[in-house]
Amino acid sequence: MDEARISRRPVSPRLWLAGCWLLMALLAAIFAPLIAPQDPLAQDLMLERLPPFWLDGAEPGYWLGTDSLGRDLLSRLIFGGRIAFIVAFAAATSACLLGSALGLIAGYFGGWPERIISRVVDVWMAFPPVLFAILLVAVLGTGLSSVILAIAIIDWTRFCRVIRAEAMSQARMDYVESARIAGYGRIGIMLREVLPNVLPSVVALLSLEMGIAVIVEAILSFVNLSISTDDPTWGSIIAEGRLSIHQAWWVLVFPLITLILTVLSFSQFGEALKARFDPVLR
């Protein structure tokens, strides 16, 4: 008949920019040994505090300048991206799986599972997250896996709350009742009928959470609680840059820009992805 309204919105510039930046940063991190112009750990006191390429005194091959130990800033940022992305993917995915599963159960089943899960979430959220993270890493010990674990343990509640509310409103819809009448089991309805409808939100939150994980990792590195200090991380570069802000501003500014762009891109990417994922908005 005549009622079709199948329109596809063109890819928004937001999605493009965010996606390009993330893809570039990700590829750079994966192929860091091939791409980085210098060894990120090589110190050379003859080359200390070189400015970025457009200023007087810059050396070719050291595009963003060097830090106070003469290490190449661009190479350190590229290698720092490895840890940032590993933490982003691992921590956000773990938080997402745990939080979304509990949220879906609480929202769809209601009753006592809902009461227990909501109570735990309330208690969890009473802790200030950054302090909680520092505390956890202090207990778990520093290292990549404890940083990932700490972020997942803290941030699953973000997924749980949102997905619970969405699953709850979906569970009240008539299509869930129709599925009951047709004879589907409860778990089947939860997974096959309700889950696809909360998935766009899960995806958006997942991307947002990756950005948050990048920040938390940077904060932990900044207070020297993250990975071993040898490997460059964005947070540790920022911490060093802060000390030499007056002599070499670039050591602070470039990692900050990188961090902010990445975090913003993750959240924008998530929003745009949600809109494309949702059949009603699409």
For other proteins, give the closer residue by CB, 7 or 45: 7
> By CB neighbour count within 10 A (0-12 exposed, 13-18 middle, 19+ buried), where does 141 fall?
exposed
In the complex, the smallest distance separating the C-beta of residue 110 from other proteins, rounded to whole angstroms, is 8
CA dihedral 13→196→214→44, nearest 10 degrees, is -70
What sections of 67-141 are H helices per DSSP?
73-109, 111-125, 129-140
For other proteins, give the closer residue by CB, 131 or 173: 173
- The CA-to-CA distance between both ends of the chain, in Å, stands at 21
In the complex, the smallest distance separating the C-beta of residue 243 from other proteins, rounded to whole angstroms, is 52
For other proteins, give the closer residue by CB, 145 or 178: 178
CA distance 197 to 238: 41
For other proteins, give the closer residue by CB, 60 or 279: 279
In the complex, the smallest distance separating the C-beta of residue 12 from other proteins, rounded to whole angstroms, is 21
For other proteins, give the closer residue by CB, 117 or 198: 198
For other proteins, give the closer residue by CB, 3 or 230: 3
In the complex, the smallest distance separating the C-beta of residue 266 from other proteins, rounded to whole angstroms, is 24
> By CB neighbour count within 10 A (0-12 exposed, 13-18 middle, 19+ buried), where does 124 fall?
middle
| Binding residues for other proteins (CB under 8 A) | 1, 3-6, 173-175, 177-178, 180-184, 192-193, 196-197, 199, 278-280
In the complex, the smallest distance separating the C-beta of residue 184 from other proteins, rounded to whole angstroms, is 7
